[in-house]
Amino acid sequence: MTDDVFKALADPTRRRILDELADRGGQSLFEICARLATKHGLGLSRQAISQHLAVLEAADLVRVRRQGRYKFHDLNTEPLESIVSRWLGPDAPRSTS
C-alpha cells in the first residue's frame, strides 16, 4: 500500500489534483478538469485526468461516491497519516542536531 501512495504522489499533476480536493472535496471530473485548467493552466483531457484519478483511487488517496449519474471525488488522508505516524509518531527517533 505504501508503494502505491508514493507512486501516486510522484506525479506533479496528481499532487495538484490532491491539492484541489483538499481545497474543496466532492468534485466531479468536470469540476476537477476546470479547476486544473483555470488555476494551474493544465490543458489535460478529461481522459488523462480520469487516469490520474484512477491511480489516486488505487492508492486510496481518493474516494469516489456516486450520486445518480455523477461520481464525486473526495480526498482520503488516512494513507498519508499512516506514513507520517510511521516516521514521525510518538515512538519515532528524534534528531539530536
What is the CATH T-level fold of the domain 2-83, as seen in this structure? Arc Repressor Mutant, subunit A (1.10.10)
pLDDT at residue 44, as a whole number: 93
Which amino acid makes up residue 38?
Answer: T
- Residue-wise DSSP of 72-91: EEEE--HHHHHHHHHHHSTT
C-alpha angle 24/72/6, rounded to 5°?
70
pLDDT at residue 93, as a whole number: 65
Per-residue pLDDT tens digits for 41-97: 998 999 999 999 999 999 999 999 999 999 999 999 999 998 888 888 777 666 666
Q: Quick one: how many helices (H) and strands (E) in the chain?
A: 5, 2
Over residues 12-16, mean pLDDT: 97
pLDDT tier for residue 2 given thresholds of 50, 70 and 90: confident
Over residues 6-16, mean pLDDT: 97
Tell me the three cell numbers of residue 4. Answer: 502505491
Per-residue pLDDT tens digits for 21-45: 999 999 999 999 999 999 999 989 9
Half-sphere exposure of 10 (CA within 13 A, CB side): 9
Give the integer Cα–Cα distance in Å for 31 and 52: 15
